Structure 1
Amino acid sequence: MSPAPTPRLETVAMDALMVRLFSRIDEANMPWTLAADSALRERFGAALIDLVPSYTTLLIHYDVTRLTHAEARALALAALDGLEPAAASTAREHVIPVWYDPSVGPELETIAARLEISPQEVIRRHCARDYCAFALGFAPGYAFMGLVEETLATPRLETPRQRVPAGSVGIAERQTAIYPMRSPGGWNILGRTAVKLFDRDREEISLFRPGDRVRFEAIDRATFIDQGGDVTPMEER
């Protein structure tokens, strides 16, 4: 666990404050981030419109019809005073089955060639560790996870794809993520999962929460199909 942070509060809009907790990305920060999230939600109550935790910060969006700027700052400072880290037991664990294959993961072989290893070794390395869900964003249910093994770290594509299928699993630098729905994107795609990350019919519509632990598990094509997976190959960029 990281040492106790010294929170810094910044004004980013007439109805938003930014809490800066850390200067670098580290999953050891998460107990403090989750504690700050819980304390801020409790203090702001019905005046809170949205609270967005990220790698090193939290964005507070509050209702200006309920709070003045000074009142919002005072609430935030009171919530962060004497902060105690959240218990590790609050993190949930997920195992995500993935069909790794060049037809749905076109960068699988590219990364293997760059590292002079087999695609199977890329898969093994991607599945070999748990990832922390640091933040949700970009699209509903999209979790930014890390940290990927340094050897696998790969820059985003120079030209993003116009259409990345739902369930695509990718890497960008030392982050990994799953596209919850079809959308544009520039991450390096390794495979695809049939797991729904965002489902309005589910009690908790987003599968992941910040702080969750995620592990990927390689499956074969037949298993992927049995789970409802779409084997349509990726389109050319």
Structure 2
Amino acid sequence: MRVLPSGDAAVLAELDDLDQVLALHAALGQPPDGVLDVVPAGRTVLVALDPTRTSVDAVTRWVRDARPVPGARPEAEELEVPVVYDGADLADVAEVLGCSPAEVVTRHTGTVWTVAFCGFAPGFGYATAADGDWAIPRRSSPRTRVPAGSVALAGEFSSVYPRESPGGWQLLGRTDLAMFDVDRDPAALLRPGVRVRFRDVS
């Protein structure tokens, strides 16, 4: 792990893979005074700080002193997402996995997913599976419009499109759950550390 200053108000930890990111995020736990946010990404963890209350050096020491446990995940609440599994790509995903569409649904709902980081759009959380092989390629030709609430897979991740947007993920189904709402606290349901269980309501 490399820990580098990122200006005078943040520290960036560079890691080898997503498992290390999740383990470090879990190990950091409750931030000390002056730390404003801990933001995981695919291979990094950014720690934003208030330089009037702490220093880059102090936060760097805090990050370096963390003791990540391999396989650890941040503590957070669980979110149940009801899904109608009628996605346009369900059969294609089944072919990739070498099983039936019904088995894809069983595997997807039987997996505990953990949001590793967010990106692409507000409320779009990249959730990883606790177990199982989910190496699902993106579509060769992205769609220009993916409806809000679309439940999808790509690579090792599953997510829900929080709003209508272009996208190249494989669509499994849809949910009526509003994933992002600026009038709600928190606005995003999918946040780093949240454990997600998809429930079949087809």
The interval holding the TM-score normalised by the smaller chain is: 0.7 to 0.9
Check whether the contact 1:167–1:196 (CA below 8 A) recurs between aligned residues.
yes
8 Å Cα contact 1:126-1:149 kept in structure 2:
no
| Structure 2 CA distance for partners of 1:190 and 1:37, relative to 1, 3 Å | same
Report 1:12-23 matches (<5 A).
16-20=10-14, 22-23=15-16
1:52 pairs with 2:39: yes
Question: Does the C-alpha gap of structure 1 residues 17 and 159 become closer, same or farther in structure 2, counting only changes over 3 Å?
Answer: farther
Q: Secondary structure at the match of 2:59?
A: helix
Instruction: Give the letter for the 1:33 counterpart.
Output: H
Instruction: Provide structure 2 residue ranges, at least 5 long, that are not aligned to the other structure.
Output: none
Deviation at 1:62, TM superposition (A): 5.3
Instruction: Give the equivalent residue in structure 2 for 1:160.
Output: 142
Aligned to 1:188: 170
1:118-159, Cα deviation, whole Å (9 max, x unpaired): 211111111111011111221111110012731x42111222
Q: In the alignment, which residue of structure 1 is the partner of 2:18?
A: 25
Residue 209 of structure 1, CA deviation? 2.5
Question: After the TM superposition, which of the residue ranges 206-215 and 72-81 deviates more from structure 2?
Answer: 72-81
Cα distance change of structure 1 residues 173 and 112 upon mapping to structure 2, 3 Å threshold: same
- Counterpart of 1:36, as a letter, is L
Distance in structure 1 (CA, Å) of the matches to 2:93 and 2:150: 16
**SS of 2:108's equivalent?**
helix
> Who is 1:94 aligned against?
79
Correspondent of 2:2 among 1, 8, 11: 8
1:73 corresponds in structure 2 to 56
| Identity across the alignment (%) | 35
AA paired with 1:196? A
TM-score, scaled to structure 1 = 0.71
In 2, distance between residues paired with 1:204 and 1:210?
12
- Equivalent position amino acid for 2:76 in 1: A
Q: Provide closer, same or farther for how the CA distance between residues 207 and 84 of structure 1 changes in structure 2, counting only shifts above 3 A.
A: same
Q: Is the 8 A contact 2:96 2:136 kept in 1?
A: no
Coordinate RMSD, CA, aligned: 2.9
Where does structure 1 lack aligned partners over 5 or more consecutive residues? 1-6, 221-237
State the partner residue of 2:101: 119
Larger Rg: 1
Work out which of the residue numbers 26, 35, 46 in structure 2 matches 1:34: 26
2:199 aligned partner: 217
Aligned to 2:24, the other structure's residue is in SS state helix
* Residue identity opposite 2:34 in structure 1: F
Deviation digits for residues 40-94 of structure 1, max 9, x if unmatched? Answer: xx3434xx5x542224421245578x59xxx843132232253356997932111
Tell me if the contact between 1:43 and 1:75 (Cα under 8 Å) persists in the aligned partners: no
